[in-house]
Amino acid sequence: MHAISDPGKMQLIFLKYFLALFISSGSYFLVELVWNGQNFMLLYIVHLVSVFAMIFLYRRLFGRDIWRYLPSITSLYIVVALFVSTIFIYYSDFLKGILDWDDYLVIKSLSLGLIFIQFLWTAYLIGTLLMPVKISTPKIHILPLSKIYLLFLFGLLANFLAIITGTFGVLQNTNIQSTANYSAYIDLGQHLGLFGLIILTYQYTHRKYLIAFAGLTFFVLGIISAQKQAALMPLLAIGVTLYFKYGKVPKGAIIITLAGLFISFAAVTTIRQYYFDSKSSGVTSVFQVKEISQNALNQKVYNKAYASYNLNEHLLIRFFYGSAIAKAVNYCERHSFGVPSNSAFYQIFFAPIYAVVPRIIMPDKPESTFGNLFASEVFLGYKVKYSIGITPVGYGYMVNGLAGVIMVALVLGLFMAFLFKTLYVHHFYIYVLIFIKSVLPADVTWEYIAGNIKVILVYWIILKLLEVRIFRKSPIPV
């Protein structure tokens, strides 16, 4: 957003902002005032209209470039997580039973989502006014295809490692401790491949077949390694990069991404379910891959909470976070607010240190266990080894209720404004990578901040190395 000196324009900005604030806060307090146990649909419609009204106001505030800003992707994530599946699950007694649905807690979760979105954009607005940036063409240092291929090589090796080590996918091994050490290398390598795809799409947009081949290759490898995120991120990278370059996403990219979303959930879920049902001893031979894949893809039902459901119902459950936030609200009302010290909100002050100091130097550096604590103590009530995502909304509520949701939103909004100011013009590719990663933001605030600072440092170094000219343009005369 540009610096604004016209008092009239400034007054109009704050008028639109306060109107959005009135809509979000009004929806929140409306739940407390008029809830009678029978008006869920009425309140759902009010919240749905409210979120669209808020998006319209933000569009007027920030202009047509709103979808280039980080809060837009996080807001979209919250809307999808809370609003899209809700109406379908509401009319299914079966799914409501699986999710332990509570009408009041779910509608309250939606209202908390509106509050989060409102204060996220509030902080971002303040940040852009304090740190104004003119939207201009990013300053790009052109990289040759040979160096992009090098990034692809790292991405391919990481996916290959994910498959053969048994860390993920159809070659999973039950000895998790022996394979977990590879996770950091796999994650870095996959992001390097994603980084290369971003650069290729932006610099060499005319190489359509090469872009399509690279994206499809990483998509297929992501499915084979049974990682939905690894499969979908390449498709998102192409679509998002094309939007940043042209200001719109081609219809074909949208259709392919939606199809890829369905295929990845169908394939990865069936592979994982078959593995846990039939291969509990672990798959140790590569010759078993064909057998387990074929049998997994014939799987028709998926188990959760001692019930079975089909693929469509599985998709609705996976996209719905309202029940998780509802359980957090219910838990805090019965007990008290609070999260583990390694996930505490005050850790944001140390996040920059955690980002740059390696664990070998700082062995006491915290590693958040919030997701596992939530899964074990709040969501299920018994100890499990895995984690459950709760979105920054649920995390904020467990920190300190409504005040916690607002605090988390304000910090994230200011940090996102800082990222835009720092990266968009001079480190554009890093900004796009962070934008894509923000499709699934970390629940714990300090992890989001520390993780992105680490990304900036690592990929700034990588870009500098890629920009180094290894050979001269012309040979040295002998």
In this predicted model, what pLDDT tens digit does every residue of 149-165 receive, in sequence order? 999 999 998 888 777 76
154 and 289 belong to one structural domain? yes
Please state, in angstroms and rounded to a whole number, the distance separating the CA atoms of residues 140 and 203. 9
Domain that holds residue 451: 322-467
C-alpha 442: how far from chain center: 7
Amino acid at 228: K
The predicted structure's pLDDT at residue 476: 43
Which position has the higher pLDDT, 170 or 423?
423
Please state, in angstroms and rounded to a whole number, the distance separating the CA atoms of residues 74 and 70. 7
CA quadruple 242, 243, 249, 250: dihedral, nearest 10: -30
Mean pLDDT of 2-23: 70
The predicted structure's pLDDT at residue 105: 93
Q: Is the pLDDT of residue 478 over 80?
A: no
Domain-located, residue 474: no
336 and 457 belong to one structural domain? yes
Mean pLDDT of 455-469: 87
Alpha-carbon distances, residue 21 vs 14, 37, 42, 43, 463 (angstroms):
10, 26, 21, 18, 41
308 and 407 belong to one structural domain? no
Residue ranges in 247-379 assigned as alpha helix (H): 251-278, 288-297, 311-319, 322-334, 351-356, 370-373
Q: Is the pLDDT of residue 290 over 60?
A: no
Final residue of a structural domain among 269, 302, 319? 319
Quote the mean pLDDT of the chain.
81
pLDDT band for position 178 (cuts 50, 70, 90): very low
Mean pLDDT of 356-380: 81
Please state, in angstroms and rounded to a whole number, the distance separating the CA atoms of residues 207 and 209. 6
Q: What is the pLDDT of residues 52-87, one digit of tens each?
A: 999 888 888 888 888 899 999 999 999 988 998 898
Please state, in angstroms and rounded to a whole number, the distance separating the CA atoms of residues 229 and 235. 10
C-alpha 351: how far from chain center: 19
CB atoms within 10 A of CB 283: 20
254 and 357 belong to one structural domain? no
pLDDT band for position 179 (cuts 50, 70, 90): very low
Instruction: Catalogue the long-range contacts made by 145-151 (C-beta closer than 8 Å, 24 or more residues apart).
Output: 145/200, 145/204, 147/466, 148/196, 148/199, 148/200, 148/203, 148/204, 149/196, 150/196, 150/466, 151/192, 151/193, 151/195, 151/196, 151/199, 151/466
326 and 408 belong to one structural domain? yes
Final residue of a structural domain among 299, 319, 339? 319
156 and 304 belong to one structural domain? yes
Query: What's the burial of 123, exposed, middle or buried (CB within 10 Å: 0-12/13-18/19+)?
Result: buried
Mean pLDDT of 397-412: 94
Amino acid at 111: S
Query: Structure pTM?
Result: 0.85
The predicted structure's pLDDT at residue 460: 92
pLDDT band for position 177 (cuts 50, 70, 90): very low
343 and 456 belong to one structural domain? yes
Please state, in angstroms and rounded to a whole number, the distance separating the CA atoms of residues 108 and 31. 7
What's the token pair of residue 72? Answer: 């837009």
Rg (CA), the chain: 23
Q: What is the pLDDT of residues 97-114, one digit of tens each?
A: 888 899 999 999 999 999
Domain-located, residue 370: yes
pLDDT band for position 402 (cuts 50, 70, 90): very high
Question: Which range, of 2-6, 144-148, 325-329, averages the lowest pLDDT?
Answer: 2-6
Final residue of a structural domain among 319, 347, 366? 319
What's the token pair of residue 190? Answer: 């996959």
Bridge-partner residues for 302, per DSSP? 309
Mean pLDDT of 337-348: 89
pLDDT band for position 182 (cuts 50, 70, 90): low
φ and ψ of 101, to 5 deg: -65, 140
Total count of domains within the chain: 3
Q: Sign of the C-alpha dihedral, residues 291, 293, 294, 299?
A: positive
Domain-located, residue 135: no
The predicted structure's pLDDT at residue 106: 93
The predicted structure's pLDDT at residue 401: 92
39 and 156 belong to one structural domain? no
Which position has the higher pLDDT, 88 or 185?
88
161 and 305 belong to one structural domain? yes
The predicted structure's pLDDT at residue 302: 46
Bridge-partner residues for 307, per DSSP? 304
Q: Is the pLDDT of residue 254 over 90?
A: no
What's the token pair of residue 329? Answer: 């609200």
Which position has the higher pLDDT, 65 or 382?
65
The predicted structure's pLDDT at residue 119: 94
Bridge-partner residues for 304, per DSSP? 307
311 and 353 belong to one structural domain? no
Q: Is 282 helix (H, G, I), strand (E, B) or coil?
A: coil
The predicted structure's pLDDT at residue 174: 40
Q: Is the pLDDT of residue 280 over 50?
A: no
Please state, in angstroms and rounded to a whole number, the distance separating the CA atoms of residues 451 and 434. 10
Domain-located, residue 475: no
247 and 393 belong to one structural domain? no
160 and 299 belong to one structural domain? yes
Domain-located, residue 193: yes
Contact 17, 125 (CB under 8 A): yes
Domain-located, residue 472: no
Domain-located, residue 109: yes
Domain-located, residue 140: no
To 10 degrees, what angle do helices 251-278 and 228-246 make?
170
CA 184, 321, 338: angle at the middle one, nearest 5?
75
- Buried residues in 348-360 as b, exposed as e (16+ CB within 10 A): beebeebbeeeee
